[in-house]
A and B are shown apart, each in its own frame.
Chain A
Amino acid sequence: MKPWIRYAICAVLGLALGAGAAIQHVRTGVLGASRAIGPWTSGSDFGTARAGAYTRAVVSLRGLLALPAHEARYYNAAVDSAGEALDGRCRYRVSGGTIPAKWWSLTLYDHPGYLVANQAGRFSIASAAVPNSAKWEVIVAPAEQAGLWLPTGRIDRFELTLRAYLPDDGGIGNMTRDQLPSIVKEGC
Chain B
Amino acid sequence: MILAIIDQVGGEMNSSSLEMLTVARKLASQMGVALEAALIGESGRPLAAELGAYGVSKAHLLLAEGLDNVAPDAWASALSQLTGASGASVLMGVGSERGNELMARLAAKLNLPMAANCTEIEAGDSFQVTRFRWGGSLLEQADLSGEIKLLTVAPHVIEAEAAADGSDAAVAEMGVEIGADDFRVQVAEHISSDREGVSLGSARIVVGGGRGLGSADGFAMLDELAGLLGAAVGSSRAATNLGWRAHADQIGQTGTRIAPDLYIACGISGAIQHMVGCKGSKAILAINTDPDASIMGKSDYAVIGDVHEVIPALIEALKNQ
> A and B, one complex?
no
Residues of B within 8 A of A (CB): none
